Amino acid sequence: MERKVKVAAVSYLNTKPLLYGFRNHPVMERMELSMDYPAKIAQQLIDGEVDVALVPVAIIPKLKEYHIIADYCIGAEAPVASVCLYSEVPLHDIKRIYLDYQSRTSVALLKVLVREYWKLDVEFVATTGDYESNIKGTDAGLVIGDRALKQRKISPFIYDLAEHWMRFTSLPFVFAAWIANKELPADFVAEFNNATGIGLQNIPAVVAENPYDVYDLTTYYVQNISYPLTPAKRQGMQKFLGYLMAAQQS
């Protein structure tokens, strides 16, 4: 490929460790990097506006061709802290759930848990802009990313979707992975994989350059998010995609 590889990444704090190593890395000469919220970059990868993106895994079935190109992901094998159902009332009293327009995977995961695990009878409400102030009474809301870390201080009832997925399936979960919509040169993929792994060896430096007083980022990067794309995470991902496929057919 002569032209630069177009890469899109999630603009949340959880992605900082995966981007830290790109600065001054030789692979930057071969790529250009843009950032946006997950649902946006998902559409860019589907439309072919970018070649690689840290996309929500829930959109894999929408890609004509997909290649997971790195050994790291946005995953969890413990409560993830930033993908939660927030409510003023307990789970079984919730009547409506506002869905986060920035998300694809977590919206799909919420629907799997509501139907298959919690077995709730609720109405889902799509959103297009700020909606967190609608989380009141029996109206709950799914919130992801940095806004979800803020919402932890507001809502009395917090249901962590990674934690409940693990209770349900005994498997870890993958929210997003580095996925290409075409085959890329093997030497580019190797360099890219190297760059995205560097920050994980340098978490104290990543935390130091991202001052944040809403939530402890060391805890977030070390205990909540789990970055290595392990065989168990791939198994969790396949199980999740199986639920999405089954839902499409019913």
Ligand X SMILES: C=C(O[C@@H]1C=C(C(=O)O)C=C[C@H]1O)C(=O)O
Interface contacts to ligand X, rule CB under 6 A: 10, 12, 14, 38, 56, 74, 80, 82-83, 103-106, 144-145, 148, 175-176
CA geometry: angle at 222 spanning 195 and 151, to 5°?
110
- Smallest separation, CB 198 to ligand X (Å): 19
As a residue count, the chain comes to: 250
Distance CA 88, CA 68 (A): 39
Q: Which is nearer to ligand X, 142 or 191 (CB)?
A: 142
Query: 132 Cβ partners below 8 Å, 6+ apart?
Result: 141, 143, 147, 151, 154
- Smallest separation, CB 168 to ligand X (Å): 17
Q: Which is nearer to ligand X, 87 or 106 (CB)?
A: 106
- Smallest separation, CB 26 to ligand X (Å): 26
Closest CA to 48 of 147, 137, 181: 181
Q: Are 74 and 176 in contact (CB under 8 A)?
A: yes
Q: Which is nearer to ligand X, 82 or 181 (CB)?
A: 82
Query: 178 Cβ partners below 8 Å, 6+ apart?
Result: 18, 52, 53, 54, 68, 69, 70, 72, 73, 192, 196
- Smallest separation, CB 202 to ligand X (Å): 20
- Smallest separation, CB 233 to ligand X (Å): 13
- Smallest separation, CB 42 to ligand X (Å): 7
Q: Which is nearer to ligand X, 89 or 118 (CB)?
A: 118
CA distances from 68 to 62, 176, 193 (A): 14, 10, 11
Residue 76 bridge partners (DSSP): 173
- Smallest separation, CB 133 to ligand X (Å): 20
Distance CA 207, CA 75 (A): 19
Q: Which is nearer to ligand X, 165 or 188 (CB)?
A: 165
* Residue 36 C-alpha from the chain's centroid: 12
Q: Which is nearer to ligand X, 44 or 82 (CB)?
A: 82
Q: Which is nearer to ligand X, 112 or 191 (CB)?
A: 112
